[in-house]
Amino acid sequence: MSESVVYPSTQLATVQSALHDAQRAGLLVPVNNPPDYSCFAFKGTPDGSISKKWNAIGYLKHKKNRLSVVTVDPLILDRLIKRDYHSLTPSPGKSVLSIDDSGTGFPLGGVLVGVSNGKTVKTGTVKTEFFHHPAHVEQRYLEEYTRVGLEVFESFNPTPATHRVEICTGHINTHIRETIRKLGYEVRVTEIKGQLQSQLEVQHAEYIRELTSETLYFDPKEAQAHTLGTLYHYALNWGIHHNKSLLKSGWGALSQYRE
């Protein structure tokens, strides 16, 4: 999930120049097939200090005299504009704690937050009630996800001097990302793969099985694209007919199932 950073339209040349300089420095590449009406679009490189999951897409709003830059992580954009490239390189010698989520797009149950040091995976649960109305529209799930995630994170006994953090993209991770930064940690937004991602999906499947006594959960990254709709609606229909309280009915798309 991306965020929007707004500048006066007069800053277009300044922002574009900074991003082109970052491209020349090997930090960014242009986005292939940029969105319609965008005035620029860049992303990180596969092997660079800026994750390939990071992007910055600019839209000039002529009537409002403003430039809106949609980006995965505004902090990276700010450092690129300031040409503070040194701060974008991960600090050597620090241990890495990775943070990821599962179940955010699944219609049943809550969400799991997982933290790993590369050897051990620990998880916490954000209960379904935070995805009901009105908690969901009030985004209380972000606060709860942060609270639960920090408890898991702190169980590894990290310090800003000894650890840095890599965290998955996604709106649900934005609040905990900024909270951990305020605690003094270096935080990099990136794609989470490997042990954390795979074990988190396994644990989420077990979590849903415990809630429903059924095998309903699927890993969207592993399922074939043409089966995703079928799997999603199978789980949704189970909730509709067996236990509506497990539905994420705070979603606008599921609002008709609110109890």
The residue range of the domain holding 199 is 92-259
Do residue 112 and residue 183 come from a single domain? yes
Is there a single domain that holds both residue 60 and residue 168?
no
Long-range contacts of 120-123 (CB under 8 A, 24+ apart): 121/195, 121/196, 121/199, 121/200, 121/203, 122/152, 122/155, 122/156, 123/152, 123/200, 123/203
What is the tens place of the pLDDT at every residue in 149-195? 999 999 999 999 999 999 999 899 999 999 999 999 999 999 999 99
Q: List, in sequence order, every residue forming a beta bridge with 112; answer none if it has no partner.
A: 102, 125
Q: How far is CA 81 from the centre of its chain?
A: 23
Residue-level pLDDT at 183: 98
Contact 246/259 with Cβ under 8 angstroms? no
Do 52 and 144 have their domain in common?
no
pLDDT average, residue stretch 34-59: 94
Q: What is the 3-state secondary structure (H, E, C) of 147-197?
A: HHHHHHHHCCCCCCCCEEEEECCCHHHHHHHHHHHHCCCCEEECCCCHHHH
Last residue of a domain, one of 42, 59, 88: 88
Whether 70 and 123 share a structural domain? no
- Same domain flag for 84 and 110: no
Tens-digit pLDDT profile for residues 203-215: 999 999 999 999 9
Q: How far is CA 96 from the centre of its chain?
A: 18
Question: What total of structural domains would you count in the chain?
Answer: 2
Under the banding of pLDDT at 50, 70 and 90, the label for residue 219 is confident
Please state which of the ranges 16-25, 171-180, 223-232 shows the lowest mean pLDDT.
223-232
Residue 138 sits in the same domain as residue 83: no
pLDDT at 1: 66
pLDDT digit string (tens) for 99-123?
Answer: 999 999 999 999 999 999 999 999 9
- Say yes or no: 119 and 247 in one domain: yes
Q: What is the pTM of this model?
A: 0.92
204 and 108 inside one domain: yes
Is there a single domain that holds both residue 70 and residue 135?
no
The CATH number of residue 259's host domain is: 3.30.420
From 88, 117, 150, give the residue that closes a domain. Answer: 88
User: Which pLDDT does position 63 carry in this prediction?
Assistant: 85
Q: Which of 88, 109, 136 is the last residue of a domain?
A: 88
Based on the fold, state whether residues 19 and 119 are members of the same structural domain. Answer: no
